[in-house]
């Protein structure tokens, strides 16, 4: 073929390309919107995703087993004062819980689910302080150390007082500590600066050790140099598990699906099933009240306490508050102020979803 013919062919191709672009841009733009797309029901999409056959199972099992061989080393690093930070593709929830249940049997463990939309750090600190106080009382029986009597309840203390208590070196053994396992320390409920500062202060306490996981690519930007090297004192571990984010993903809507009444009820039912029977019964009281009083803005706290106490579900307002804290952490219950100025409790679900939820948990 002649060189001139090749040049002419290339020029013809270029002219046709720009001509097509010009004609295409002169036409009318599409009026279609994302809302016009017929999305798949979320429950159907999750069911389809759950039926996908896993691949490379043997290789993944071998990979996870290689991490388990490192458990003694991880315990040693915790005893040396480091915090463990797990990163890599795949859910690390099962790996961390396996480590805590098999290798940390000598130490009390508190678990924080950072993948939830909101986390009550004050309640977490109270739980840690109570565990540490029990640890001190147990060790007092085998030593001559006398602990102060008349200990003030931790739920009536300020955050600073609780942190000061945790940071006091009242134990003779440096090997005595409370482990805090945080699934997704970069999760939506912990991602704000204030929460990270509180977590860093918890991690810097003398007898606290942190085991955490991250999944967001920009997670290290949450911390400054002092937090990383002094307070958290991270020992970084790349532990890709390639495990699906089944539990973590329940609380987030799928991009390619629209939410539905049945899915909202199903998600709430899964959360409720993880709570105690008494907590479920308290939730039922609130749900039944909301369905029978659709014109009201919610159920007053005093009314809920009275009914719950009459049914022997709670013995005090403190017990009821602990149930409500769990509900609020999982966004099952919210509070708002009624027109008469009284605070009330309500479940942020439509009546049809609420009825579906009651039928789910009554099965």
pLDDT tens readout for residues 31-83: 444 344 455 666 677 777 778 888 899 999 999 999 999 999 999 999 999 99
Choose among 327, 343, 325: nearest CA to 335.
Answer: 343
φ, ψ for residue 31, nearest 5 deg: -100, 5
Q: What average pLDDT does this structure show over 136-161? A: 67
Distance CA 227, CA 221 (A): 11
pTM over 0.75: no
Give the 3-state secondary structure of residue 253: coil
Beta bridge partners of 337: 343
Most confident of 1-15, 97-111, 266-280, 342-356: 97-111
Q: Please give the mean pLDDT across all residues of the chain.
A: 81
Residue pointed to by tokens 């087993």: 65
Question: What is the reported pLDDT for 198?
Answer: 93
Give the 3-state secondary structure of residue 182: strand
Domain 261-362 has CATH 1.20.1250.20: no
Question: What is the reported pLDDT for 27?
Answer: 47
Distance CA 234, CA 19 (A): 59
Kindly list the domain boundaries of the chain, sorted by start residue.
Answer: 57-143+154-238, 261-362
pLDDT tens readout for residues 153-169: 787 788 888 888 888 75
Most confident of 124-128, 135-139, 236-240: 236-240
Q: Name which of 41-55, 79-93, 311-325 the model is least confident about.
A: 41-55
Token digits for 208?
Answer: 């606290």
pLDDT band with cut points at 50, 70 and 90 for residue 185: very high
Looking at the chain, the whole-number percentage of residues with pLDDT higher than 70 is: 77
- Fold assignment, 57-143+154-238: Rossmann fold (3.40.50)
């Amino acid at each position: 073929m002649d060189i001139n013919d090749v040049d002419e062919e290339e020029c013809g191709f270029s002219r046709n390309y720009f001509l097509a672009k010009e004609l295409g841009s002169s036409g009318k733009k599409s009026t279609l919107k994302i809302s016009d797309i017929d999305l798949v029901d979320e429950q159907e999409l999750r069911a389809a995703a759950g039926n996908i056959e896993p691949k490379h199972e043997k290789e993944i099992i071998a990979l996870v087993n290689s991490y388990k061989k490192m458990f003694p080393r991880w315990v040693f690093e915790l005893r040396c004062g480091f915090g463990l930070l797990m990163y890599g593709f795949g859910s690390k929830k099962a790996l961390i819980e396996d480590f805590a249940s098999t290798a940390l049997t000598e130490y009390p463990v508190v678990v924080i689910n950072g993948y939830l939309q909101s986390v009550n750090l004050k309640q977490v600190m109270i739980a840690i302080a109570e565990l540490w106080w029990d640890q001190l009382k147990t060790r007092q029986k085998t030593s001559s150390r006398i602990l102060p009597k008349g200990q003030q309840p931790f739920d009536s203390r300020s955050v600073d007082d609780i942190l000061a208590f945790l940071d006091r070196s009242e134990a003779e053994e440096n090997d005595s500590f409370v482990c805090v396992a945080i699934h997704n320390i970069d999760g939506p409920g912990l991602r704000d600066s204030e929460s990270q500062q509180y977590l860093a202060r918890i991690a810097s306490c003398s007898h606290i050790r942190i085991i955490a996981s991250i999944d967001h690519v920009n997670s290290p930007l949450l911390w400054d140099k002092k937090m990383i090297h002094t307070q958290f004192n991270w020992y970084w571990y790349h532990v890709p598990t390639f495990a699906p984010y089944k539990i973590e993903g329940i609380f987030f809507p799928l991009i390619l699906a629209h939410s539905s009444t049945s899915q909202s009820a199903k998600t709430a039912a899964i959360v409720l099933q993880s709570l105690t029977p008494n907590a479920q019964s308290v939730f039922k009281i609130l749900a039944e009240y909301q369905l029978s009083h659709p014109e009201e803005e919610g159920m007053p706290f005093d009314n809920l306490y009275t009914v719950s106490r009459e049914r022997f579900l709670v013995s005090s307002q403190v017990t009821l508050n602990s149930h409500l804290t769990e509900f609020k952490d999982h966004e099952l219950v919210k509070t708002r102020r009624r027109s008469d100025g009284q605070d009330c409790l309500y479940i942020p679900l439509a009546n049809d979803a609420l009825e579906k939820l009651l039928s789910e948990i009554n099965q």
